[in-house]
Amino acid sequence: MNPAYSVILFTTASGAGYGLLALLGLVGFNHGTVSNPVFGLVAAVIALGLITLGLLSSTFHLGRPERAWRAFSQWRSSWLSREGVVAVATYLPALVFIAAWTNILPAPGLIAPLGIATAVLCAITVSCTGKIYSTLATIRAWNNPYTVPVYLAFSLASGAGLLTGIATIFGRYQIFQPALAAVATLLVVLLKYLYWRSIDNAERTHTMAAATGLGAGVRQWEVPHTSENYIMKEMGFAVARKHALKLRNTVFLFLLLTVLALAACQITPWFSFVAAPAVLFAAVLERWLFFAEAQHVVSLFYGAEKA
Amino acid sequence: MTEPFIDTSPKTWDEVKTTTCYMCACRCGIKVYLKDGTVKYIEGNRDHPVNKGVICGKGASGIKQHYSPARLSKPLIRVGERGAGEFREIEWEEALRTATLWLSEVRNKDPRKLAFFTGRDQSQGLTGWWASQFGTPNYAAHGGFCSVNMAAAGLYTFGGSFWEFGEPDWKHTKYFLLFGVAEDHASNPIKTGLGKLKGRGAKFVSINPVKTGYSAIADEWVGIKPGTDGLFVGALIHEVLAAQKIDGEHLQRYTNAPWLVIENPGGPDDGLFARAESGAALAWDSHTGTPMPATSSDALPVIMGRFTLPDGRRVVTSFTLIAERFLSPEYAPDAVAEKCSVPAATIKRIAAEIADVAFEQQIELDIPWTDYTGRRHEKTVGRPVAMHAMRGISAHANGFQSCRTIHLLQIILGTIDVPGGFRYKPPFPKPIPPHVKPAGKLGQVKSNTPLPGPPLGFVTSPEDLLVDAEGTSLRIDKAYSWDAPIAAHGMMHMVINNAAKGDPYTIDVLFMYMANMSWNSAMNVPDTMKALTAKRGDGEYVIPKIIYSDAYNSEMVQYADLILPDTTYLERWDCISMLDRPISEADGPADSIRQPVVEPERDVRAFQTVLLDLGARLGLPGMTRPDGNPRYPGGYPDYIVNHERAPGLGPLAGFRGPNGRHQGRGTPNPDQLKAYIENGCHWFHELPDHMKYYRHVNWDYLDWATFFGFMGKPEPIIHQLYCEPLQKFRLAAQGHGKNIPPAEHRARIRKYFDPVPFWYPPFEGDMVSESDFPMHAITQRPMAMYHSWGSQNSWLRQILGRNWLYMNTDRAASLGIADGDWVTVTSHHGQIKGQVKLMSGVNPDTVWTWNAIGKRSGTWGLSANAPEAQKGFLLNHLISDLLPEREGGYRFSNSDPITGQAAWYDLKVRVAKAADQSAMSAPQFTILKVKR
Amino acid sequence: MTSLPTPQPNQKKLGLVIDLDTCVGCQACATSCKEWNTQGYSAPLSDTDPYGSDPSGVWLNRVHGYEVKEEGRDDSRVVNFPRSCLHCETPACVTVCPTGASYKRAEDGIVLVNPDTCIGCKLCSWACPYGAREYDYTVGVMKKCTLCVDRIYNTNLEPEDRVPACVKACPTGARHFGDLGDPSSDVSQLVQAREGFDLLPEMGFKPVNKYLPPRKRRDAQTSKAVALPKGDGSAMDRLFKWADKLLGSGTASAAIQEDHSDKLEG
Ligand SMILES: Nc1nc2c(c(=O)[nH]1)N[C@H]1C(S)=C(S)[C@@H](COP(=O)(O)OP(=O)(O)OC[C@H]3O[C@@H](n4cnc5c(=O)[nH]c(N)nc54)[C@H](O)[C@@H]3O)O[C@H]1N2
Ligand SMILES: Nc1nc2c(c(=O)[nH]1)N[C@H]1C(S)=C(S)[C@@H](COP(=O)(O)OP(=O)(O)OC[C@H]3O[C@@H](n4cnc5c(=O)[nH]c(N)nc54)[C@H](O)[C@@H]3O)O[C@H]1N2
Ligand code: SF4
Ligand code: SF4
Ligand code: SF4
Ligand code: SF4
Ligand code: SF4
Ligand SMILES: [Mo]
């Protein structure tokens, strides 16, 4: 699949944003009114900023962004629609929650319940994003049980990484922050390892023979057009296997770097300034690979033997 | 939510007009949907005899050709050096005055100094007549490089031909053999026919080195080695003769099989038919045991045997000679198998299968008919084996004889113009050969005087040749000379290079129309470009003036001095006439017109109208009234309606006479075009059933055809298995007669002008070393492209924007070539570079590519880095116009020695992985300026 | 309407049947489709860089070329393979659509995109296994085969012309249009008789369009080896005897004046 930058940016930025927002919700839930309002405001602005950036960037991917509102209508059947609905729905409790936390809205009683609600909605949104991909039967690498967990774990890891960094700036650093980030990052490592093992081992059961109905001896002879078409540009992209392995290792490298940096926060919390970018970079690279390694069934019509 | 409302009956057009497609030469009927005067949609016309509603990939893309950015928009005159692409736009008046000046000088001095050659055109009725009125013999259309072998072989054998002069009986045939066809002119009818055939379960065999397109859907693919069909078919003949699976009655009555050939080795009459005083050929009558006129109704001719005539001359039936040739071991399946790369068992089986279908599965239609002797046949008997062949046969130097071999097989089996066989399309059959001789002999070409006849025709003996006392050609292309005596369509491929060499002489004006002669229709492209720009010592171009009419910015436009921009096919009147290349159906004659469906918004004029205008300005008699005014002031439509070739016969056969009630013959009808338009721009006359078959000998048909002007008198058309005219040339080569070939031509004529078909290896393959050039290289027509002109079409070029060199997978492996490698292809003449694609459905000794996809950078309204130019390539650069030197130094043209047909597919090459693997084809030429 | 309509009893399922045995790959269906639809329901079908180095555009129908080596044969054959939307019965291209622009008509099963509400998110094209959705970069919405919904019911056209543009165009008659929900329709009968098949049946999309497989060859590998019987003696002599018989009397052979049997053999 073509790794479109708008989509990569969308999923990684909004993933981190929702992760951070969810954690803020939990922090708010935990600490109630004792929390630092400035820290809360800045962190929440960053979280919502990332989410909004992601959502905006996702609309760049649309051919008709001015019609984006229409995407809320099909929540009954479409994960993309659900994601849109939940994503926007998250803003509501989130904004009220922030307002209460920062005492703009003097309703301290709302902080805890809205904090929890925000966190839950964040998790649902990220799950919906994952679901968009994991429900596509046409793309084996996505139609995989690890897809949603990976999205969630990455969201949490990058959110926790960010949280550590922001907290450090505001002197609100607490051990649980890097610890959580490290655990989430290790979870990502585990899930990603399992994911890659799973897609590497998955039997590619769709064949050109079944796609064309022409039997096992079929091979592509002539492309329909000598110039590339949308399908070839969009679904024909495939990163070379050797290159992909290198990139996978780079992802692991950055994830481990993240964990090490988080551990080093024991020495000084400023190491979170290594950890946060490292996990974000790993997320972007991982997302790029998520697309670039995914083979679409339609490639069978364009010469691939199996998918 | 509910479904959105959609309008399922939108009317996206405000008008529908019928006309005739010209995205290729098939000439289907189309309906053009227009909205506010712009073309919206083009579909096949369901009522049209040619395509019956279907359309092809090109036809449905006509919009993009019509609105192409490559269209020319105003007359141009060259201002820079030739080939540099520098022109000045001029007004039509200046263009026409300039052309008139150039042409009148020539006509005054020596009309021969004008070479007027037209390409893909379909108004040869007009252009040929114009040349003859002008007085130059140097006229031809593209037939000489296209498929004259097919036309000539057919017209000298059975009075029809493959090409467009006949078609398989799609309705009845049970076994169909297709030789060397990728697409052909009958694009849609062949496809429709194959669809029907498959639906009926008839067997379809394709003989072709490549298994794509039609061959891909054949029941059986015979992956023959190029140039060897004559052997393959010869072996089939061998088999059927050996088993006597022959339509004896047909041979006896309707062919020259029983005609008596004089056997007098060394004598002046050797190999000619023994004739009665009346000139009638004799046959041996078995009742009386004496010779009798072969067509006399009392004779029961013997078809095998040698006899002595009462005057002591020894004679043999022509069928005996044929049997001796094809029963000889040379033509036995086992002997030919390896040469053709077709297993002997396959040849034997196919022979058995056709014999079975022809004789055990014969068709009888309840249609009584009467032959020319008055014999009534209660049933119309059909032998349902049909054959069709085209350029895979014709584009070889042995194509004429190979094609005759196929006709021989058809005739032996009794499958010509019978149900299930190959059927004539009126105006065919014609007398064998048609009674028209080429004009242009010494004394016939005079200053300011028309020729006494048409420049093209059919020679039957050396006396008809256009040569001087030394045997030198009188025509610039050497057609009808000893180089190519039966060049019935001229030799357009030789004109430019001959003129540049001054061999046989130089010319003053080259006038071309609709032919991309500096590119895909040239042999030896690089040298052709040089020839077009060559200068004499005095700085003048060797070809001093070039006038060219094109509609688009083709490669050739760049080499012209004066450009007359034509309309597109949707903007003009045209006439698809039976005087030219007919669109008739086997069931009856048909013709059609094109009407302008949109007005040109550019300053362009229809070429035919321009030609008539020039004719009037030059004062050509046919185009001028006695008072000096133009005869056809209304231009081409005026001519179409009012021109009469003979009293009552004009370009269109339909709706003639008062009120348009006459067909075929009738006075000009001023409302004729209106009548055509009302009838969907076409006219078709279905023959009654008893005139639909056996038309070469069908009394009623011959009578009717004579009335219609298809032939001079109602005489039977006896199939000429033995071709006597060829023997006359042979006798000349042996020193007999007045017109004797120069010494260097004699051996060649003696060998190839064999009156009995035979096979010989194509010349190029025979002359170059097999180890240096082990592979055959051929082209195929892509179904969705028409020669060069499809590439300007933004839809078609997405489908085929470049070509590859297709190669057999195993052979490539043995040469270390992988899929996608760039390779060099080298012939005795040159080298190109292209990219390889592998496939298994190709004869291992053959490589091929799509024809005419490669473009010269900067042409056709495309950006200079178009894939057509950077990855596409032409084989033409490798194909020499001349054969390697023979003893004595003379270089014959790379053509069939009989007809002069260009031998495109004789090309032999070697293929090797290129050292330079960059994704760029070679050669690349200077970028022509893009003119928009 | 992103949810699929509930199939009714005797549900009409309009679709195409494509005969791979007769398709010669001429592209008539592809260009006719482009031509009709660029001014019809899906209009326009945009082209980008049409005269430049990388021309491409929206086509609702494309013709592939495959080479197939059948089992037990040592040669292969080229199969031309037109591919457009199969108007699946349970297609994910509809259910994934966030806007409802992608929908399946309850009435006849045609799968359409509403060009007025599509946001161009491209998700449906990811969901389609058959590559049948084509994104129009210029207009920013998804395009696909409409089964010529604006032709097949178009009362401005003559009844015979109310078929998809590709079907009308196809010169070989390899394309058939009809109701595959009706077992007695011509198309259903054809599918039955020729063992029409589904593409990627395991995807579970239940394509309505069917493909007819190439027929078995009748060639050197599948035909009985036969040859014409030769008879005894020289072929030339046999031919003389045959010519004699043709005359119904013995006069012809009496006229043979030379013996050829040594020169020739059959
Ligand atoms: N290697 C190889 N070469 C071949 C062949 C092959 O098989 N292999 N085939 C040969 C054969 S059979 C043929 S017929 C030739 C064909 O070759 P050409 O006769 O050169 O045919 P085209 O390339 O179609 O181009 C003819 C010219 O007509 C112009 N034209 C198109 N429409 C109009 C119009 O309406 N009016 C005017 N005035 N001009 C128009 C085009 O712009 C173009 O310049 O190629 C020959 N060359
Ligand atoms: N779409 C389209 N249609 C066209 C044209 C076009 O450019 N495009 N051009 C028109 C013109 S001008 C012409 S002349 C006709 C020509 O129509 P075709 O005769 O169909 O022309 P080619 O494409 O040259 O096809 C020649 C076929 O012969 C095969 N062949 C080559 N050598 C041999 C051989 O020695 N033996 C046998 N048995 N086969 C051989 C080739 O593989 C190829 O399939 O088509 C006309 N129709
Ligand atoms: S076959 Fe030729 S004439 Fe007929 S529709 Fe196609 S391009 Fe036009
Ligand atoms: S072919 Fe693709 S676009 Fe068409 S209905 Fe099926 S899934 Fe949808
Ligand atoms: S591209 Fe259009 S039709 Fe396709 S899923 Fe998105 S909104 Fe629906
Ligand atoms: S049915 Fe209509 S839209 Fe679909 S492929 Fe055929 S022509 Fe194109
Ligand atoms: S029009 Fe018919 S024959 Fe031509 S490619 Fe399409 S389906 Fe095949
Ligand atoms: Mo041609």
pLDDT digits (tens, 9 = 90+) for B580-590: 888 999 999 99
Residue B310 has pLDDT above 90, yes or no: yes
Q: Is residue B73 within 8 Å of B603, Cβ to Cβ?
A: yes
- φ, ψ of residue A95 to 5 degrees: the values are -65, -40
Residue % of chain C over a pLDDT of 70: 92
Mutate to test the pocket of ligand 1, among B124, B164, B181, B516 (most ligand atoms within 8 A of CB): B516
- CB of C98 within 8 Å of a chain B CB? The answer is no
Whether A48 and A122 have beta carbons less than 8 Å apart is answered as no
CA of A139 to the centre of ligand 4 (A): 15
CA-closest candidate to residue C160, choices B542, B53, B880 = B53
Instruction: State which ligand 5 atom lies nearest to the alpha carbon of C102.
Output: 3
Pocket test for ligand 3, best of B26, B31, B574, B583 (most atoms within 8 A of CB): B26
Poorest-pLDDT segment among B17-26, B178-187, B573-582, C161-170: B573-582
What's the average model confidence in pLDDT over A101-116? 90
Q: How far is the CA of B749 from the centre of ligand 3 (A)?
A: 40
Supply the residue whose CA is at minimum distance from atom 8 of ligand 6: C33
Subunits with 3+ C-beta pairs closer than 8 A to B: A, C
Return the structure tokens found at B182. Answer: 């990728």
For the ranges A36-40, B201-205, B630-634, the lowest mean pLDDT is seen at A36-40
In angstroms, the CA B136 to CA A261 distance is: 94
Contact status, residue B855 vs residue B785, Cβ threshold 8 Å: no
- Quick one: pLDDT band at residue C255, thresholds 50, 70, 90? very low
Would you kindly state where each structural domain of chain C is located, as residue ranges?
14-212
Cα B258 to Cα A11: distance, rounded to the nearest angstrom? 89
- pLDDT bracket for residue C257 (50, 70, 90): very low
pLDDT of residue C253: 37
Indicate whether A307 belongs to any domain.
no
Do C2 and A137 make contact, defined as CB atoms within 8 angstroms?
no
Distance C144 CA to ligand 6 centre (A): 9
- Within chain A, residue ranges assigned H as helices are 5-31, 37-60, 79-101, 111-134, 147-169, 176-201, 208-212, 230-235, 241-264, 272-292
Q: Looking at the predicted structure, is the pLDDT value of residue A190 above 80?
A: yes
A71 pLDDT above the threshold of 90: yes
The residue written with tokens 């009362």 in the block is C155
Contacts of residue B158, Cβ cutoff 8 Å, sequence gap at least 6:
B407, B410, B411, B416, B429, B432, B696, B717, B719, B720
What pLDDT does B201 receive? 96
Spatial distance between the Cα atoms of B821 and B805, rounded to a whole number of angstroms: 10
Q: Is B842 helix (H, G, I), strand (E, B) or coil?
A: strand
B204's tokens:
């379809």
Reply yes or no on whether the pLDDT at C261 is more than 60: no
Are the Cβ atoms of C200 and A210 closer than 8 angstroms?
Answer: yes
Cross-chain CB nearest to B800 (options A73, A221, A226) = A226
Mean pLDDT of C213-234: 93
DSSP string computed for B621-656: GGGB-TTSSBS-TT-HHHHHHH--SBTTB-S--SSB
Nearest to C243 among B196, B212, B304 (CB): B304
> What confidence tier does C256 reach under pLDDT thresholds 50, 70, 90?
very low
Radius of gyration of chain A (CA): 21
**8 Å CB contact between A7 and A61:** yes
pLDDT in tens, A267-306: 999 999 999 999 999 999 999 999 999 999 999 999 999 9
Which SS3 state, helix, strand or coil, does residue B698 take?
A: strand
The residue of chain C nearest to residue B288, with distances taken between CA atoms, is: C251
**Residue B533 pLDDT more than 90?**
yes
The parent domain of residue A148 ranges over 5-302
Is residue A32 very low, low, confident or very high in pLDDT (cuts 50, 70, 90)? low
Confidence of residue A35 (pLDDT cuts 50, 70, 90): low
Interface test with B, best of A73, A220, A221 (most B CBs within 10 A): A221
Mean pLDDT for chain B? 96
Residue bearing the CA closest to ligand 6, atom 7: C33
SS3 call for B357? helix
* pLDDT attached to residue B555: 96
DSSP string, C188-239: HHHHHHHT-B-SSGGG----S-EEEPPPPP-STTTS--------SS-HHHHH
Give the residue carrying structure tokens 């049409």.
C50
pLDDT given at position B491:
94
The answer to whether A61 and C121 are in contact (CB under 8 A) is: yes
Residue with tokens 């001519």: B639
Q: What is the pLDDT of residue C264?
A: 35
Structure tokens that stand for B229 in this block: 């069909």
Q: How far apart are CA C36 and CA A130, in angstroms?
A: 39
When divided into structural domains, chain A yields a total of: 1
Structure tokens at B444: 């016939």
Q: Which atom, in ligand 1's list, is nearest to the CA of B514?
A: 28
C103 Cα to the center of ligand 7, angstroms: 28
Residues from A contacting B (CB-CB < 8 Å) are 73, 221, 224-227
Q: Does pLDDT of B455 surpass 80? A: yes
Mutate to test the interface with B, among A81, A218, A226 (most CBs of B within 10 A): A226
Burial category of B421 from C-beta neighbours within 10 Å (exposed 0-12, middle 13-18, buried 19 and up): buried
For residue C94, give the ligand 4 atom closest to its CA: 8
Q: Do the chains contact at C121 and A61, CB–CB below 8 Å?
A: yes
- The phi and psi torsions of A97 (rounded to 5 degrees) equal -60, -50
Q: What is the mean pLDDT of residues B63-82?
A: 96
C-alpha distances in Å from residue A27, one per residue of A43, A174, B477: 11, 11, 95
Return d(Cα B391, Cα B396) in angstroms, integer.
8
Neighbours of chain C (3+ CB pairs under 8 A): A, B
| Contact call for residues A178 and A164 (beta carbons, < 8 A) | yes
Of B280, B583, B229, B557, residue with least CA distance to B409: B229
Cβ(B116)–Cβ(B136) under 8 Å? yes
Mean pLDDT of C33-59: 96
| Domain assignment of residue A210, yes or no | yes
pLDDT, position B932: 40
Q: Which ranges of B721-800 would DSSP assign to H, the alpha helix? A: 724-733, 743-752, 763-767, 796-799
Report the 3 state secondary structure along B99-152. Answer: HHHHHHHHHHHCHHHEEEEECCCCCHHHHHHHHHHHCCCCEECCHHHHCHHHHH
Distance from C-alpha of C3 to C-alpha of B563, rounded to nearest angstrom: 62
CATH number of the CATH domain containing A134? 1.20.1630.10
Nearest-CB residue to B219 (from C56, C170, C218): C218
Task: Provide the pairing of β-strand C56-57 with C47-48.
Answer: antiparallel
Tally C-beta pairs within 8 A across A and C. Answer: 203
**Is the pLDDT reported for residue C250 higher than 50?**
no
pLDDT of residue B120: 82
Contact at 8 Å (CB) between A29 and A69? no
Mean pLDDT to the nearest integer, B232-259:
96
Distances (CA, A) of B525 to B82, B702, B874: 16, 46, 9
Q: Which one of B11, B56, B217 has the shortest CB-CB distance to C21?
A: B217
Amino acid making up residue B473: S
pLDDT at position C259 is 40
The two three-digit tokens of residue B254, written as one number: 């309707």
Average pLDDT over residues B897-912: 97
DSSP state of A266: T
Looking at chain C, how many residues does it have? 266
Q: What is the pLDDT of residue A108?
A: 87
Please report the pLDDT score of residue C258 as a whole number.
43
Per-residue pLDDT, B215: 97
pLDDT given for residue B930 in this prediction: 52
- Tokens 């001896």 locate to A217
pLDDT band at B297 (very low <50, low <70, confident <90, very high): confident
**How many angstroms separate the CA of residue A76 from the nearest CA in chain B?**
11
Q: Looking at the whole model, is its pTM more than 0.90?
A: yes
Interface contact flag, B867 A227, Cβ < 8 Å:
yes
Contact across the interface for C200 and A297, Cβ inside 8 Å = yes
Q: Is residue A54 part of a domain?
A: yes
Tell me, which fold does domain C14-212 have in CATH?
Alpha-Beta Plaits (3.30.70)
A178 domain-assigned: yes
Is A138–C203 a contact, with Cβ atoms under 8 angstroms apart?
yes
Name which of B168, B210, B207 is nearest B191 in CA terms: B168
- CB distance C32 to ligand 7 below 6 Å: no
Q: Binning pLDDT at 50, 70 and 90, where does residue A183 land?
A: very high
Quick one: pLDDT at residue B679?
Answer: 98
* Dihedral over alpha carbons B244, B247, B249, B254 (to 10 degrees): -130
Tokens 């009856």 belong to: B588
CA of C114 relative to ligand 4 center, distance in Å:
15
